[in-house]
Structure 1
Amino acid sequence: MSIIEKISLGINVFRDKRQVSNSIPRDNLEHLRGAIAWLKHAQDVTGNGGVAQTYLVRSRRWAPSYPETTGYIIPTFYRYAALTGDADARLRARRMADWEIEIQHPTGGVLAGALGDSDQPTIFNTGQVIFGWVRAFEEEGHERYRNAAVRAANWLAEVMDNDGCWRRFGSPMTGKQINTYNTRTAWSLARVYGITGEQRFLDAAVRNAEWAMTQRNAAGWLAQNCLQDNQQPFTHTIAYAMRGLLEIGAAAGRQDFIAAAEVIGDAMLVALPTDGRLPGRFDDTWRPTVKWSCLTGDCQLGINWGRLYQITGERKYREATSRILDFVKRTQRIAGEDKDTLGGIKGSFPINGGYHPWQYPNWATKFYADSLMMDIANTNHTHHGFAGMPEGNN
């Protein structure tokens, strides 16, 4: 790298920090509109109905469509359409769901990586696309979406080991086979149970959550729970595992799963600074190991705390969602001309942090939109009125 390139990158990091220092968070809906506009742009640049995996700042280009995250962006767009009446968001969600059917692997699973990276199905990606097909079936009523979800769920159930762990078909991109954050994949099986009534899917979800519980230490921290370094998982994967336990617990009436999720949520809440800037990795004693923030994980924890508020009624969780969102809002540009970054959320703050540095991964903005909609819902309602909420924030 040349000296000029190094200076340019340094200026970008300085601007990133200055923006957060000088920005004032605005109304949730204003930030939400910007996020959805960015996601729509990320879909438009692909030309195939899928959503581009990420925008790469240093090379100023978009990566190809990403089946995994396109799948769980579908519920986000349906929820936004219901909240705002945006008919275009509904059409886009349907286009995503149809594209996912077009590229579904013959096994029923979903391809690893971005489009073109692999010809093999993988566990986690399959679960995330199931969320989209289930929601599309609930919204549109077309059997093709339920059929696709059932095919995918059948494959997941078939390749699960007897103890509930998935040890095969891990992502070739990470090189890891065993992941406790697959509780989020297992939650998708509970969603398929909800549209089919087939008990075997809920039973499989519970088995995986039971296996994950065997990976807890005395502090409630989960082993085998990171994309890269199991000794200090990202808040991104901590939040994935937490949400899976929480929602399987809610679906199956397992208070032990809900309690385990609450332990994780409380540990993250204790670590949350007044300014909302949460560190991006934590060790097995819940101590932060880095100073940069994983913005994706921040947004996911905002959702998870919102769900804990809905389940428990404890105001500390609703307030935590608002606090962490106030920080993430300050990292989002909602005025300017650059459509490739306007409204999007970066992988890390600062932009050169350790989670997807120098990128705008689509799932960061997806979870940001979900967290904003969670905050809107929880601000407008008491916790007693949320029986049907979970499917809206997959």
Structure 2
Amino acid sequence: MKQHLIALYENLRLASRPHHWSVLWRDRQETRPSTFSDDEHLAAAISWLCRAQDVVAGGVSAGYFFKRGWMPPYPETTGYIIPTLLAVDQTDRAIALGEWEIEVQLPSGGVRGGIGLNDYPIVFNTGQVILGWTALYRATAEERFLTAAVRAADWLLDIQDPDGKWTRHTYLDAPRAYHTRVAWPLLEVHAATGEKSYRAAAERFLQWLEIQRLPAGGFAHMALEPGQVPITHTIAYTLRGLLECGLALGPPSQNELIDLVSSDVRQLVTAQQAQLQAPPAKLPAALDENWHGRARHSCLPGNAQLAILLLKLHALAPAQTADFAHAAQTLIEQVKAGQFLTNENTSLFGGVPASAPIGGAYVPYALPNWGAKFLADALLLKRTLPA
């Protein structure tokens, strides 16, 4: 009975807000390319992220959810929003987020899981906040940020399985290929401290991941839940983390991992060539083991993440990856087409829906903070392309 009442309330809230109506109507129309500049989209995304910070007492709101309004802070994504704010000279805001993450860090050193301030730690979330703390340490040289990162890294080492994966303090106690984004932060702590145990732990995870390699590329355990088809959000998490691990490890691992990630991305681009075009084309949200689409909706944060990955690979080998740059730009255009730049409601303006259409299966009717974050990152990286 309680769940039915909650569902009734949420659906009434979705339909009762006038500023929602235009969004629902927009999704019934054919998607058109944005007429706004990259700079306008970037400014709007950063403005929305700042608003998401201001609506909560600490951290960054998980986002604006049509059925619930502004959500409580999300420690995980607050952590990796920090480098984005630093990149656009919002240093005071970034420092405030890093301080808040220290305040709410669990006594064990782990980072709280889920939205809000829960009492349980989660491995992945811990890695993402380490990325924020290490970015702040590099920017400010303040030891408190490195100390927090070291405490978190030590907790990750304490609970790592002997074969390198993590299964304790993970969702459904299952391993994840996208824990490459946990190995990467450990390598950042190694770089800051020189402590070899962090590098060794990252390398153990990569050895476990090697065994998970699939025949057509990609890895087992890339999905959010066991048995699901992975979505572009977690595929990009996995491959971006692997690339960053390679860059941090240096030769010979560096070249091996860059080649591996490039191979997977090449297969994805080839298989999805028809969908890697300007709107109304859209990349499917879920891709199977052969890189074929398995969804009718698109995951806009995943599109932005893949654009970042494509641009990073292009920068490493420009002559061989012109198609990567093109694919990245079309993915950015798809995300820009979904971002709200004509709706004057302050909860919506600058936000990026999780799904296109907004009622798609991935976090439906929501503007999660990671959508705006990854679009901002992609637009900043796009600036490095030749004019």
Say which of 204, 210, 215 aligns to 1:213.
Answer: 210
Q: Residue in 1 aligned with 2:314?
A: 309
2:56 is equivalent to residue 46 of structure 1:
yes
Structure 2 CA distance for aligned equivalents of residues 104 and 280 of structure 1: 33
C-alpha distance in 1 between matches for 2:45 and 2:264: 27
Amino acid at match of 2:150: V
TM-score of the pair, normalised by structure 1: 0.88
Q: CA deviation at 1:251?
A: 1.4
Give 1:47 deviation, angstroms.
2.1
Aligned to 1:77: 85
- Shift in alpha-carbon separation, 1:44–1:221, aligned structure 2, 3 A: same
Paired residues of 2:13 and 2:67 also in contact (CA < 8 A): no
SS in 1 for 2:64: strand
Aligned equivalents of 1:105 and 1:4: distance in 2?
Answer: 37
Q: Give 5+ residue unaligned stretches, structure 1.
A: 82-88, 381-394
Opposite residue 341 of structure 1, the aligned amino acid is L
Q: Distance in 1 between matches of 2:220 and 2:25?
A: 35
1:190 aligns to 2:187 (yes or no): yes
Partner AA of 2:43 in structure 1: R
Equivalent-residue separation in structure 1 for 2:323 and 2:28 (angstroms): 28
8 Å contact from structure 1 (residues 110, 125) kept in 2: yes
- Residue number in structure 2 paired with 1:262: 262
Q: Structure 2, unaligned stretches of length 5 or more?
A: 1-7
Q: Please, which of 12, 18, 21 is the counterpart of residue 29 of structure 2?
A: 18
For 2:3, the equivalent position in structure 1 comes to none
Give 1:228 shift.
3.1
State the AA in 2 paired with 1:40: C
Deviates more, 1:6-15 or 1:224-233: 6-15
| RMSD, aligned α-carbons | 2.1
* Structure 1 residue identity aligned to 2:53: Q
Shift of 1:5: 8.7
Q: Does 1:327 align with 2:338?
A: no
Query: How is 1:1-394 mapped onto 2 (pairs within 5 angstroms)?
Result: 12-18=23-29, 20-21=31-32, 23-48=33-58, 50-59=59-68, 61-81=69-89, 89-116=90-117, 118-171=118-171, 175-228=172-225, 230-253=227-250, 254=253, 255-270=255-270, 271-272=272-273, 273=275, 274-275=277-278, 277-313=282-318, 314-379=321-386
CA distance in 2, matches of 1:90, 1:19: 39
Kindly indicate whether the alpha-carbon contact (under 8 Å) linking 1:28 and 1:376 is maintained by their aligned counterparts in 2: no
Deviates more, 1:139-148 or 1:5-14: 5-14
Deviates further, 205-214 or 232-241: 205-214
Structure 1 vs Structure 2: percent identity of aligned residues? 38
Aligned to 2:324, what secondary structure does the other structure show?
A: helix
Give CA-to-partner distance per residue, 1:100-131, whole Å, 9 cap, x none: 00011111110001123x20111000000000
Report how many residues are paired.
366
Whole-angstrom distance in 1 between the partners of 2:34 and 2:344: 20
Separation (CA, whole Å) in 2 of partners of 1:166 and 1:150? 18
Tell me, in whole angstroms, the C-alpha distance in 2 between the residues paired with 1:29 and 1:12. Answer: 23
Q: Deviations over 1:165-209 (max 9, x none)?
A: 0111103xxx24211111111111111112112222122212212
Aligned-residue offset at 1:227: 1.2
Task: Specify the SS of the correspondent of 2:384.
Answer: helix
Secondary structure at the aligned position of 1:278 is classed as: coil
Q: TM-score, normalised by structure 2?
A: 0.89
The C-alpha deviation readout for 1:220-273, integer Å capped at 9, x for no partner, is 121111113544111000000001111111111312222221122112212142
C-alpha contact 1:157 1:204 (8 A) present in aligned 2:
yes
Structure 1 residues 11 and 91: alpha-carbon distance in aligned structure 2, compared to 1, 3 A threshold: closer
Deviations 1:126-155 (A, max 9, x none): 000000000001111110001111111111
- Contact 1:209–1:257 (CA under 8 A) maintained in structure 2: no
Counterpart of 1:28, as a letter, is D
For 2:100, give the aligned amino acid.
W
Distance in 2 between residues matched to 1:194 and 1:358, nearest whole Å: 40
CA distance in 2, matches of 1:294, 1:176: 25
CA distance in 1, matches of 2:194, 2:317: 27
Distance in 2 between residues matched to 1:369 and 1:331, nearest whole Å: 14
Give the direction of change, closer, same or farther, for the CA distance of 1:139–1:11 in structure 2 (3 Å limit). closer
Secondary structure of the residue that 1:18 maps to in structure 2? coil
CA contact (8 A) 1:176 1:227 kept: no
Q: 1:54 and 1:112 mapped to 2: Cα distance? A: 16
Question: How far apart in 2 are the matches of 1:346 and 1:213?
Answer: 34
Give the distance between the partners of 2:173 and 2:263, measured in 1 at CA: 26
